[in-house]
Amino acid sequence: MAISQMVRKATLAVAASVGIGVLPVAADTIEIHNTMSTGGSEEAALQKFQELIEEKLGDDFEVNIYLNSQLGSEAEVLELLNIGQTQMALTGGAFMGQYAPEYNAVSVPFVLPSWGAVEHYIMETESGKKMQEIAREKGNLVYLGPQKRAFRHMTANKPINTPDDLEGLPMRMPQIPLWIDVWEELGIQAVVIPSSDIYLAMRTGQVEAHENSLASPYTRQMWEVQDYIIETSHLSFPWHWVASAPWWDGLTDEQRTAISEAAEEARQHGTQVENEKDEFYREALIEKGMEFIQVDQAPFREKAAPAIERAMADMADTVQADIEASIEAASE
């Protein structure tokens, strides 16, 4: 563990034990965090943000980028944001499930079929705005916008053309009960193992399929153990630009406007880079011999419907209409 992370965690522990708040870092520093390593669309977006803040507010702020969970896990950074001990993060969707699960439709597979629909749901609908409002009330998070992560597909060692082909298929799943429920409804046999063990599990036959974005089969060299990529496009689980409300509320209107504009441009840049990388992975995987199978998503969504309906039953009354409005808006 890095010394800076140890000091930060020790500070939090002492503060909690004596019941006092933690003083924020210097006002002229913007720390921004992400859990991913270097070289991805996440780093590209954060570097764009750093560049834009230098242009817009160079006399006021210096942006420090922390990748690869340098100052803690996603949950730990959310707590730092909550108490004003750090300023910003490009974070995953854990906070939505933690603070506003009744509006978290973006986490349900086969519900929002395009990035445009995902973005519209979060930014334009009553449900999305309510989710942002609750995140501020419960987690002291100021929401600045979503950034695309490429759609997730599945890989397999046999052709998959219809949901019937999934029956009994041992498929690696992350430890996310909602996702497991949906895929088991489709007929798979869920095998929960760490992501670091996926390749070996495929090599030994423990699993015969998995689901993720195209970065996964590319970086794990899955062409050595899998032959097919089935384009289910079942989920885009975005990044989210957030800021600490205690810090944000201490800024001037001019500073808040400049930071919002920089985050907006940076997230759009990150989305563009993600699209470019996704296309690169596709071409590279084809060159390595993997066969892409385009499937009609409708039968998969229909067979998964009971699990999807179970998830949606816990959602707020506005969610279904907002999903439909987002799909329609994205198709125009």
Residue 332 is predicted with a pLDDT of 86
pTM of the model: 0.89
| pLDDT over 70 at 274, yes or no | yes
Q: At what angle do helices 115-124 and 126-139 cross, to 10 degrees?
A: 60
- Residue 3's Cβ-count burial label (10 Å; 0-12, 13-18, 19+) is exposed
Q: What is the pLDDT of residues 77-110, one digit of tens each?
A: 999 999 999 999 999 999 999 999 999 999 999 9
Residue 49 is predicted with a pLDDT of 99
Domains of the chain and any CATH numbers: 25-149+237-280 (3.40.190.170), 152-235+288-331 (3.40.190.170)
Q: How many CA atoms lie within 13 A of 140 on its CB side?
A: 18
Q: What is the pLDDT of residues 216-257, one digit of tens each?
A: 999 999 999 999 999 999 999 999 999 999 999 999 999 999
| pLDDT over 50 at 19, yes or no | no
Structure tokens, 273:
């880079």
Q: How far is CA 273 from CA 42, 69, 116, 211, in A?
A: 9, 21, 16, 22
Whether residue 124 contacts residue 330, with contact meaning beta carbons closer than 8 Å, is answered with no
